[in-house]
Amino acid sequence: MAQADRRGFLKELLGAGAGLVQEVGGAFRSAFEPEFPAPEPVDRIVRAEPVRRTASLDDLGRLLEEAGLASRHRTAAHRLARIGLRLVPDGTGGGSRLGGLPELPDELEWPHREDRTLAFLGQIDLRETPGLGLPPTGSLLFFSDVERQPDGLRSGDDGACRVLLVDSDQPLRPREGTAAFPEARLGLSSELMLPSAYSAQLDPFELDVEAFEAWSRLRERLAELQGVPLDDEAGDFIAAHRLLGYAEPVYGREMELDCELVANGLDLHEGEGYYDPRRDELEAGAADWRLLLQLSVDPQLGLAWRDPFRRLYLWIREPDRLARDFRRVRPMLQ
């Protein structure tokens, strides 16, 4: 089925009922992707483990050979592979942490939204993130509106989070206040990641049934090689926190597309924006969005989002990330 035909199919599907807002990447993918209802209550939450050994691109090449994927699908794997950092509580960690109170230069105010102080989520010591396209020194500090916790599906929700880049040569002063979460030092471990076989990023490579199954096995073997479970294959909910890489959706909506539509003024809260006439021309811009931060419900750390949400995601356009411009980060809750 041609790409234009698949877009038409999707618009008809969305137009059939405003309640159906799950994103599917084409007719083939929709036939295989299960429906994604609201997540059921979490019975068991397990702590994510650090990566035991980071896979290399050579490892990926070997796994591709074993998977028997066609050359165009091998090209897709090398093109789409990304490094993400698992953020795992570690009492012996360095300068990265979740919770506690921020340390800011005197000239920077604690971020606010309307009349509310944004909660300090944590900070990443950029000396611990070499080779990932982030500044080599300094810190990224993350803040969010944990009081109201908007879901990110309205254009005005961008003010619900702030990310500050603080240079290492700026003198810092601990700020007074009430911590939203207790402080937990973090260990960072690198993980080579691929998108799910359901991802719209694989649409141009036209996975057939056999390739779809082989790609899923490839992701399983890649995770197994690194000593970590795949989030979408785990029986329990994993309290996975990460910087960069690929998001682990609680359900199957493509958040990159959500970010692009909402950033251009479409209201997705009730679903109407998905079949707005502008959607088709905006769809290509979804490819610019990248996961910046993912934080999961984690009772051991005191992290919790309002029901039924389990994860907070902060998204940034890739050109902004490369330009070290963190002013237009967008939040999403799932």
Tokens read off for 42: 């979490």
What pLDDT score does 306 carry? 87
Top-confidence residue, 22 or 147: 147
pLDDT tier at 193 (50, 70, 90 boundaries)? very high
Top-confidence residue, 121 or 168: 121
What pLDDT score does 323 carry? 95
Consecutive H or E run containing 67: helix 57-67
Residue the block writes with tokens 């929700």: 157
Does residue 38 sit in helix, strand or coil? Answer: coil
Minimum mean pLDDT range among 57-61, 200-204, 252-256, 263-267: 252-256
C-alpha–C-alpha distance, residues 90 and 93, integer Å: 5
What pLDDT score does 317 carry? 98
What pLDDT score does 171 carry? 87
Q: What is the pLDDT of residues 135-154, one digit of tens each?
A: 999 999 999 999 999 999 99
C-alpha–C-alpha distance, residues 312 and 150, integer Å: 10
Contact 25, 202 (CB under 8 A): yes
Mean pLDDT in residue range 7-19: 39
What pLDDT score does 10 carry? 38
Judged against a pLDDT cut of 70, whether residue 311 lies above it is answered with yes
Q: What is the pLDDT of residues 26-37, one digit of tens each?
A: 333 333 333 434
Judged against a pLDDT cut of 90, whether residue 92 lies above it is answered with no
pLDDT tier at 42 (50, 70, 90 boundaries)? low
Q: What is the pLDDT of residues 170-190, one digit of tens each?
A: 888 899 999 999 999 999 999
What pLDDT score does 81 carry? 97
C-alpha–C-alpha distance, residues 185 and 323, integer Å: 28
The share of the chain scoring above pLDDT 90, in percent, equals 68
Judged against a pLDDT cut of 80, whether residue 48 lies above it is answered with yes
Q: Name the pTM for this structure.
A: 0.86
Mean pLDDT in residue range 229-244: 89
Long-range contacts at 2-10 (CB < 8 A, ≥ 24 apart): 3/203, 6/203, 7/280, 7/283
Q: Centre a 10 Å sphere on the Cβ of residue 78 and count the other Cβ atoms it contains.
A: 12
pLDDT tier at 252 (50, 70, 90 boundaries)? confident
What pLDDT score does 291 carry? 98
Choose among 56, 11, 53: nearest CA to 30: 11
Burial 252-288 (b: 16+ CB within 10 A, else e): bbbbbbbbbbbbeebebeebebbbbeebeebbebbeb
What pLDDT score does 28 carry? 35
Average pLDDT for the chain: 86
Minimum mean pLDDT range among 38-47, 76-85, 137-146: 38-47
pLDDT tier at 119 (50, 70, 90 boundaries)? very high
For 203, what's the count of Cα atoms within 13 Å in the CB-facing half-sphere? 21
Contact 162, 118 (CB under 8 A): yes
Q: Centre a 10 Å sphere on the Cβ of residue 94 and count the other Cβ atoms it contains.
A: 13
Choose among 56, 76, 68: nearest CA to 222: 56
Mean pLDDT in residue range 208-212: 93
Contact 156, 124 (CB under 8 A): no
Q: Where are the beta strands (DSSP E) in 8-138?
A: 45-47, 82-89, 97-98, 103-104, 112-113, 116-117, 119-125
The share of the chain scoring above pLDDT 70, in percent, equals 87
For 76, what's the count of Cα atoms within 13 Å in the CB-facing half-sphere? 23
